[in-house]
Chains A and B, each alone.
Chain A
Amino acid sequence: KQEVTQIPAALSVPEGENLVLNCSFTDSAIYNLQWFRQDPGKGLTSLLLIQSSQREQTSGRLNASLDKSSGRSTLYIAASQPGDSATYLCAVRQDSNYQLIWGAGTKLIIKP
């Protein structure tokens, strides 16, 4: 059974720092992996999607990498800003049944 883990559960850093959020999964047979952002009381906003054949995707200050063989993905945020404060979720879409399996998220706080 696929399990997705995000560590740490919470992270607080000063503004301007570069940071890395981690996502690990137990079954490497994935179709793709997607990173989302969730603001309090709001829905989920898609940040980056990485296909199983890709190694990384970039959007602005965000870079997501994927290492299927080791069951890991990282989300790199460059030059963090207070507006980046949110919960970041990763979801793995399984190759077998096309379902999304979710991590519990990392709550990120960027201090001004």
Chain B
Amino acid sequence: NAGVTQTPKFRILKIGQSMTLQCAQDMNHNYMYWYRQDPGMGLKLIYYSVGAGITDKGEVPNGYNVSRSTTEDFPLRLELAAPSQTSVYFCASSYGRQRGVGTEAFFGQGTRLTVV
């Protein structure tokens, strides 16, 4: 089982460059999430999606954009990279509340991004 797959694993960007972090899941989960994790901190929600075509902002959305054209894919776009976006990014997926109990969240391996 592939689960949640993120690419790339590592990336170095120069200030002002753009990039897209890819995320795909094969569990038919309707909910997908993007988090960032800074050293010594808990995960912060950037954006989330409750289904194809539906996205919403999380706690720290500034500087990012997302799209959800299919159930499987949820890419995260950084348009103008800034040093403050240096972090580890995690994609996750889960079933929504309507599935009932057992809504465990599954995570990708993360993308370590450095902006210089």
Contact = CB atoms under 8 A, between A and B. Distances in A.
Interface of A: 4, 9, 31-32, 34, 36, 41-46, 49, 51, 89, 91, 93, 98-105
B42 A43 contact: no
A98 B29 CA distance: 15
Of A45, A51, A102, the most chain B CB neighbours within 10 A belong to A102
B43 A98 contact: no
A93 B41 CA distance: 18
Given A102-B43, A104-B42, A43 B104 contact: no
A103 to B, nearest CB: 6
B40 A104 contact: yes
A104 to B, nearest CB: 5
B97 A99 contact: no
A26 to B, nearest CB: 14
B64 interface: no
B105 A105 contact: no
Given A98-B97, A102-B43, A43 B103 contact: no
B109 A99 contact: no
A98 B105 CA distance: 12
A92 to B, nearest CB: 11
Contacts of B109: 42-43
Given A89-B42, A103-B42, A31 B103 contact: yes
B42 A102 contact: yes
Contacts of A42: 109-110
A104 B102 contact: no
A102 B33 CA distance: 14
19 contacts: A9-B40, A32-B101, A32-B103, A34-B105, A43-B90, A43-B107, A43-B110, A44-B107, A46-B106, A49-B102, A49-B104, A89-B42, A99-B48, A101-B42, A102-B42, A102-B43, A103-B42, A104-B40, A104-B42
Nearest to B110: A43
A9 B40 CA distance: 9
A46 B102 CA distance: 12
